[in-house]
Amino acid sequence: MIQVLGKLLFASIILSVCQSAKLPSDIQICKFGDAKCIAESAGYVAKNYKDGSPSMGLLSIDPIQIPEVSILEDKNSKKQKAVNINLWFKDWNMYGFSKMKVKKIQGFEKNFPGKLIFDAYIPQIVLVGQYKINGQVLVLPIQGAGFSNLTLDNCKLHVEAYGKEFEKKEKRHIQLDGISRIDMKISKLRIRLDNLFNGNKQLSDTMNQFLNDNWKEIYDELKPGVLDALGQVVVNLVNNVFAKLPYDDLLQDDTSLELQKCKITDNECILNTINNQVLKNSANGISALNLSPLEPLRVETLSIEQGGSSPVNIKLYFKNLAYSGFSRAKMVKLNGLKENINDSKLNFDLHVPLVSQVGQYKITGSVLILPISGNGLSNMTFVESVMKFRSTTKSVMKGGEEYLQIDRAKLKIDTSRLYLNFDHLFNGNQDLSNNMNRFLNNNWKTIYSELRGAIQTSFVGVVKNVVNDVFAQTPYKNLFVQ
């Protein structure tokens, strides 16, 4: 029985994730071999498309409908078995997979390795439908027909499938030849079979209690029977999907990432493309867009100088900086683009849940009347920040084509919390260093308020360079639907 669940779930996830050629814009497009991205996409699809999606050819995930399952006694077996039954299930509905957490999906490499591995955790699976049974369970005879309910708690699913590539109409496809291993560990199986013994309530309740008291034995005995009954059916189901959809249309190289093109006036479409195709694939960079890796985003030097009558009077220099967190950002607002570059502006708001700046620093000056000096490793972490980028643009001609370039820009950064840590302050005096870091964090609002202008002025250049690199890759007219 558990084998059925595993195979059907495996088929459903393959069906959902691998049809990236027809993915809705809110589903992340993944690269070959990016197991983390593929697992996240599978979980997202299960949660947000549980009723299926005609545009993806996706059937219902919650519930998953199972027309018929039969488990028949092997009369030729000489082995003594605790469960000897003929069991039929009909019109089964399986609930629970929309709440699964996908732990791992491996095998979707550019060159298909011939094996797929899938791990997931499902808090609870409930199967309901009609049943018919006769035979013997442990030492007790059992017979009946009616409504059934099987509930499995804390399900840890593992599936391994094997297959091969083949070519059809000059396109690569993959075919599964079978399931090499499938298992599901659970913490509890609860069983309810109505109308046992022709509706005798006393005998029916007694048998149901007996089944639940001995659920581990029932569970273990049913596994191989279900695998034999439905293994090939599930393989055929998966193969139907792969036979229809070419493998190279399911996942993409970063160099072949084709962005959804939008009308220049369709800000909603542009935001969807940026968030669900660019930012979500930005961790390792996107060479086709000339986008450098954002995890981390590396910056050679950065300077913050604050003087005058400010209570924070410092000279702070950074080098070899690494920023982590920008690939999880979301653009929440965009406007200003027009068909004529010289009439355009590029304005956007970027929400960043968490971004950390780590690198070497050197500082001198004073903070709220306290002197400060030091050099070493630093960490500045911004929590729940919104970066508001405002710019004017200009046209640049290359090879007879027109490209957009950011001309003047400014940046405003709002943050709900700033954490600071500077190692080796005061020539490594640990007590003074700890006290100063504690002081900085206790007074972070005042410090950020004073340094905000200098930080924004310094970092706007970093954002400007990233944006200009991307726009320098593609002629402006080719970015949008004409």
> Beta partners for 350?
331, 387
Taking Cα atoms as reference points, which of 161, 61, 170 lies closest to residue 117? 161
Share of residues in the chain with pLDDT > 70 (%):
84
pLDDT number for residue 436: 92
What is residue 7's predicted lDDT score, i.e. its pLDDT? 47
Average the pLDDT over each of 223-227, 381-385, 420-424, 471-475 and give the range with the smallest value.
223-227
Residue 20: is its pLDDT beyond 50? no
**245-271, pLDDT tens digit by residue?**
677 777 777 555 677 889 998 999 999
- Of the pLDDT bands very low, low, confident and very high (cuts 50, 70, 90), residue 234 is low
Look at residue 230 in the predicted model and tell me its pLDDT: 46
450 touches 369 (CB < 8 A):
no
DSSP assignment letter at 140: E
pLDDT of 75 > 50? The answer is yes
- Most confident residue range from 58-62, 90-94, 282-286, 346-350: 346-350
Quick check: 233 pLDDT over 90? no
- Give me 350's structure tokens: 């970027």
| Residue 465, pLDDT score | 92
The tens digit of pLDDT for each residue in 78-94 reads 566 667 778 888 888 88
pLDDT tier at 370 (50, 70, 90 boundaries)? confident
Assess whether pLDDT exceeds 80 at residue 287.
no
| Most confident by average pLDDT, 35-49, 193-207, 287-301, 404-418 | 404-418
Range with the lowest mean pLDDT among 51-60, 222-231, 292-301?
222-231
- Can you tell me the distance from the alpha carbon of 127 to that of 140, in angstroms, rounded to the nearest whole number? 24
Lowest mean pLDDT among 28-32, 297-301, 364-368: 28-32
Print the SS3 string covering the chain: CHHHHHHHHHHHHHHHHCCHHHCCCCCCCCECCCHHHHHHHHHHHHHHCCCCEHHHCECCCCCEEEEEEEECCCCCCCCCCCEEEEEEEEEEEEECHHHCEEEEEECCCCCCCCEEEEEEEEEEEEEEEEEEEEEEECCEEEEEEEEEEEEEEEEEEEEEEEEEEEEECCEEEEEEEEEEEEEEECCEEEEEECCEHHHCHHHHHHHHHHHHHCHHHHHHHHHHHHHHHHHHHHHHHHHHHHHHCCHHHHCECHHHCCCCCEECCCHHHHHHHHHHHHHHHCCCCEHHHCECCCCCEEEEEEEEEECCCCCEEEEEEEEEEEEECHHHCEEEEEECCCCCHHHCECEEEEEEEEEEEEEEEEEEEEECCEEEEEEEEEEEEEEEEEEEEEEEEEEEEECCEEEEEEEEEEEEEEEEEEEEEECCEHHHCHHHHHHHHHHHHHCHHHHHHHHHHHHHHHHHHHHHHHHHHHHCCCCHHHHEEC
Run of H or E including 346: none
Look at 170-174, 238-242, 364-368, 379-383 and tell me which has the smallest mean pLDDT.
238-242
Give pLDDT, residue 90: 87
- Taking the chain, what is the end-to-end CA distance rounded to the nearest angstrom? 55
pLDDT > 90? residue 281: no
pLDDT at 415 over 90: yes
pLDDT of amino acid 19: 43
**Which of the given ranges, 132-141, 206-215, 414-423, has the highest pLDDT on average?**
414-423
Tell me the domains of the chain and their CATH numbers: 22-252 (3.15.10.30), 267-478 (3.15.10.30)
The string of pLDDT tens digits covering residues 175-216 is 888 888 888 888 998 999 998 888 888 888 988 898 899 888
The one-letter code for the residue type at 352 is V
C-alpha closest to that of 284 among 22, 108, 467, 32 = 32
- Mean pLDDT of all residues belonging to the chain: 83
Q: Does residue 403 surpass a pLDDT of 90?
A: yes
Q: At what angle do helices 215-244 and 2-17 cross, to 10 degrees?
A: 30
pLDDT at position 271: 94
Quick check: 172 pLDDT over 90? no
